């Protein structure tokens, strides 16, 4: 670090002195301001205390005047009160007598009202008991009616169930009777040595018949030739026309065949082979 010259030392000392002076002046200023504020506060306090003392003196004077006026008024009022009391006493005696009369009449009226209220309460209690009894009877009747309705609904449902089961039983019996009648009708059509087409639906029957005869089982009543049997064993070509038309003919022939009709055409013989195969 370079060594300070003499002029630099003088400037540093002067700056330090100036700073100390400013600090001293600031402290003196702050002290003066604090003293001034304290003096102002003290003066304000003194002024406020003087005002308070003045106010209290005026209030005291006013209170003394008011007390004197009040005392005079009280004396005047007391005199008036004594006069009024004398008159009131006389009036009170008359009023007491009248009050006694009114009290007696009032007690008599109260007794009469009490007796009437007791009678009214007894009547109301009796009416309430009657209403309660009626409500209980109504509730019981409604419960019994609901139970009766429930029983009636149950009985109705049971009757409907019985009727439905009876109708189902009758329908089953009718179906059974119809089946028996149909079977009897088929049995009536049976002849010795004749097997109906419905019997030939059973493959065991049709197979046995094929083993016994050389011709078609459905056309057993026709004396078919051997060459015809050979033709019957061949497939039939589809006929011309729409397939739906052939299906209609096939369905119509199937219904006739079930009723006992025999095939007459090559097409019908092929259908019979389909029915029995």
Q: Domain residues of the chain, as ranges?
A: 194-276
Band (4; pLDDT cuts 50, 70, 90): low
Q: What does the pLDDT read at residue 172? A: 87
Band (213; pLDDT cuts 50, 70, 90): low
Q: Is 246 exposed, middle or buried (0-12, 13-18, 19+ CB in 10 A)?
A: middle
Measured on CA atoms in the order 138, 140, 144, 149, is the torsion positive or negative? Answer: positive
In what helix (H) or strand (E) does residue 97 lie, and over which residues does it extend?
helix 6-189
Whether the per-residue pLDDT at 247 is higher than 90: the answer is: no
Residue 257 contacts residue 275 (beta carbons within 8 Å): yes
Closest CA to 223 of 233, 213, 235, 231: 213
Query: Which comes out higher in pLDDT, residue 181 or 24?
Result: 24
- Locate tokens 């010795």: which residue? 192
Q: What does the pLDDT read at residue 179? A: 80
Mean pLDDT value across residues 219-237: 45
Whether the per-residue pLDDT at 15 is higher than 60: the answer is: yes
Band (190; pLDDT cuts 50, 70, 90): low
Whether the per-residue pLDDT at 222 is higher than 70: the answer is: no
The per-residue pLDDT of the chain, averaged, comes to 82
Residue 199, number of CB atoms within 10 A of its CB: 13
Residue 266 contacts residue 236 (beta carbons within 8 Å): yes
Q: Which of 42-56, 59-73, 216-230 has the lowest mean pLDDT?
A: 216-230
Q: What does the pLDDT read at residue 226? A: 45
Q: What DSSP character marks residue 218?
A: T
Mean pLDDT value across residues 81-94: 87
Q: What does the pLDDT read at residue 29? A: 93
Q: What does the pLDDT read at residue 239? A: 52
- Locate tokens 């007459």: which residue? 264
d(Cα 106, Cα 174) in Å, to the nearest integer?
A: 99
pTM of the predicted protein model: 0.25
Whether the per-residue pLDDT at 62 is higher than 70: the answer is: yes
Q: What DSSP character marks residue 199?
A: G
Query: Which comes out higher in pLDDT, residue 195 or 214?
Result: 195
Q: What values do phi and psi take at 4, rounded to 5?
A: -70, 150
């Amino acid at each position: 670090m370079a060594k300070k010259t003499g002029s630099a030392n003088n400037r540093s000392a002067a700056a330090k002195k100036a700073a100390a002076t400013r600090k001293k002046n600031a402290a003196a200023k702050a002290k003066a301001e604090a003293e001034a504020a304290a003096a102002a506060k003290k003066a304000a306090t003194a002024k406020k205390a003087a005002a308070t003392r003045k106010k209290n003196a005026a209030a005291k004077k006013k209170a003394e005047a008011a007390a004197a006026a009040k005392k005079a008024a009280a004396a005047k009022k007391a005199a008036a009160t004594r006069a009024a009391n004398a008159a009131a006493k006389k009036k009170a005696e008359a009023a007491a007598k009248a009050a006694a009369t009114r009290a007696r009449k009032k007690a008599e009226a109260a007794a009469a009202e009490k007796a009437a209220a007791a009678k009214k309460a007894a009547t109301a209690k009796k009416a309430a008991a009657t209403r309660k009894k009626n409500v209980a009877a109504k509730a019981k009747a409604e419960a019994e009616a609901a139970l009766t309705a429930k029983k009636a609904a149950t009985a109705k449902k049971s009757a409907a169930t019985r009727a439905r089961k009876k109708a189902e039983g009758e329908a089953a019996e009718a179906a059974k009777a119809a089946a028996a009648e149909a079977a009897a009708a088929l049995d009536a059509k049976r002849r010795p040595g004749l097997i109906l087409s419905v019997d030939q639906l059973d493959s065991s029957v049709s197979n046995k018949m094929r083993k016994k005869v050389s011709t078609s089982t459905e056309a057993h009543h026709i004396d078919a030739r051997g060459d015809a049997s050979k033709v019957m064993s061949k497939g039939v070509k589809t006929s011309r026309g729409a397939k739906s038309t052939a299906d209609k003919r096939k369905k119509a022939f199937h219904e006739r065949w079930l009723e006992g009709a025999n095939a007459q055409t090559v097409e019908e013989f092929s259908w019979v082979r389909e029915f029995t195969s």
